[in-house]
Amino acid sequence: MTITTRPSRSGPSLLGGSIDVPVNPCQHEAPRSVQSWTGEPGTVGSVALVGAGKMGLPLAAQFAGHGWQVTAVDVNPAVVDAINEGRSHVAEEPGLVEAVAEAHASGRLRATTNGTEAARSVDVVVVIVPVMLNDRQQPDYRYMDAAVEAVGPGLHPGSLVVFETTLPVGDTRGRFTPALEAASGLKVEDDLFVAFSPERLLSGHVFQNLATYPKLVGGIGPASTARAAAFYASVLDAEVVAMSKAEAAEFAKLAETTYRDVNIALANEFANYAERVGVDILEVISAANSQPYSHIHQPGIGVGGHCIPVYPHFLLSRAPEMTLVDASRKANDGQVDRAIATLEGALDGLEGVEVLVLGLTYRDGVKELAYSRAIPLIDGLHARGARVLAFDPLLDAGEVVQVGAVPWPWGSAAPSVRAIVTQTADPAWASLDPAWFAELRVVLDGRNSLGDLALPAGIDYHGIGVPSRTGG
């Protein structure tokens, strides 16, 4: 379908979910460095960034780039060593290698494993270590508890601690502030400031997002909110939004991510129905989203990564009455079983069948296997007797083996492969040549990214909610 429009002034994508926001130019004047930073406009001090991972390291570079003296704290000595040599251990983030090298060369970025020492020597501590889920789908605080335990004794009068890690509503006030007070002997809102400010960035777009997405800040009280908002105003070019309290900022992050999970679940239900009635869901979504209040996301084989599938459970852990949230999680996780059932139907069972999975990370371009739907996909295929080969441009052969599949070198002949499943929408799949697979019978396009792929006669194509076709 072609929709003819005049260029939109706000630029919302008709495919939903991706709205281009203009980047704010940097308007900071050259800052004045102060010994004990108190939030005075135009001044900068020193900050410890705890958890120098895919999100933390770009933040460290961003803070240094705005004049702050930054100490990156990480429990992984290899991460610390790399930073102290001016190297980024995260290769995929555009601009990060250069930003870390520049921050290091300017003398404003160093790293350590010692959180207590770091907290003692800085004005601000920003914490961004993971909180994930345990096997009962409850928040797993082990990294965060350890980080809080490390920095607490180093805090001193005037310290500001900001949690950027996504947390269940109430944790900043109820779980971590008492721990920080107990370890430091300080009193929040008096001589200690504590706030929550969710990290909302998308891997692969971090520096652009830092200059565009409004930064939400909610403190334990007004003094903490003001101090944290002043910090972010000094390091970010985006709008800073001071919220009424920490809980509102915690909830906002859970709301925006859970909204996306529920939205995708709806798109998946729509896709399943579209298959039943022989309608192309992509055409439907494009058309529906041409109404400016409709923002239907894309259907797919499932939702992965350590954000979107995790945070609905943070809500459910405190609000089990959210049945819509629970049903959406189940609907999205059920997409893998649907895909396997489609393959089973197309091939009359999977016992002894060789299946190639393309894309193992939770999405293309991000080397992250956490909660990737490739894992239950591979397990489910094995459970039905299939032999699973796999390829991911971001993983080497050893990493593919760790995920449970047999590595397939891109472009090599694989005469026994009878089915291909795409689990990511990597642009590389566009150059897939069906001639590499003499016995290929089915392509299951888990992200609807191969609709234009030319297939020889006799090979079936199935997408998610799009009409199936047979090549030739």
Ligand X SMILES: NC(=O)c1ccc[n+]([C@@H]2O[C@H](COP(=O)([O-])OP(=O)(O)OC[C@H]3O[C@@H](n4cnc5c(N)ncnc54)[C@H](O)[C@@H]3O)[C@@H](O)[C@H]2O)c1
* 253 among known catalytic residues: yes
Give residues 144-183 in contact with ligand X (rule: CB under 6 A).
146-147, 165-166
Considering the rule CB under 6 A, would residue 213 count as an interface residue with ligand X?
no
Considering the rule CB under 6 A, would residue 34 count as an interface residue with ligand X?
no
DSSP run (H or E) holding 178: helix 177-184
Of 327, 371, 330, 375, which is closest to residue 130 (Cα–Cα)? Answer: 371
Instruction: For residues 326 and 4, give the distance between their C-alpha atoms in angstroms, rounded to a whole number.
Output: 38
Considering the rule CB under 6 A, would residue 203 count as an interface residue with ligand X?
yes
129, 355, 377, 440: residue in contact with ligand X (rule CB under 6 A)? 129
* 54 among known catalytic residues: no
Q: Which stretch binds ligand X (CB under 6 A): 7-15, 128-136, 258-266, 345-353?
A: 128-136
Instruction: For residues 407 and 357, give the distance between their C-alpha atoms in angstroms, rounded to a whole number.
Output: 10
Instruction: For residues 182 and 177, give the distance between their C-alpha atoms in angstroms, rounded to a whole number.
Output: 9
Q: Which stretch binds ligand X (CB under 6 A): 49-57, 102-110, 220-228, 374-382?
A: 49-57
- CB of residue 471 vs ligand X: minimum separation in angstroms? 37
Radius of gyration of the chain (CA): 24
125, 307, 316, 340: residue in contact with ligand X (rule CB under 6 A)? 307
Active-site hit among 54, 215, 245, 307: 307
Tokens for 434, please give them: 């069906």
87, 95, 143, 205: residue in contact with ligand X (rule CB under 6 A)? 143
In the complex, residue closest to ligand X by CB: 53
- CB of residue 433 vs ligand X: minimum separation in angstroms? 33
Q: What's the one-letter identity of residue 120?
A: R
Instruction: For residues 439 and 361, give the distance between their C-alpha atoms in angstroms, rounded to a whole number.
Output: 26
Considering the rule CB under 6 A, would residue 62 count as an interface residue with ligand X?
no
Q: Which is nearer to ligand X, 177 or 203 (CB)?
A: 203
Instruction: For residues 423 and 94, give the distance between their C-alpha atoms in angstroms, rounded to a whole number.
Output: 23
Considering the rule CB under 6 A, would residue 59 count as an interface residue with ligand X?
no
* Distance set, CA 33 to CA 30, 62, 97, 126, 434 (Å): 10, 16, 26, 19, 61
- How many helices and strands in the chain, by DSSP H and E? 15, 19
Tell me which residues are annotated as active site.
253, 307
What are the residues binding ligand X (CB under 6 A)? 50-56, 73-76, 79, 115, 128-131, 143, 146-147, 165-166, 199, 201, 203, 306-307
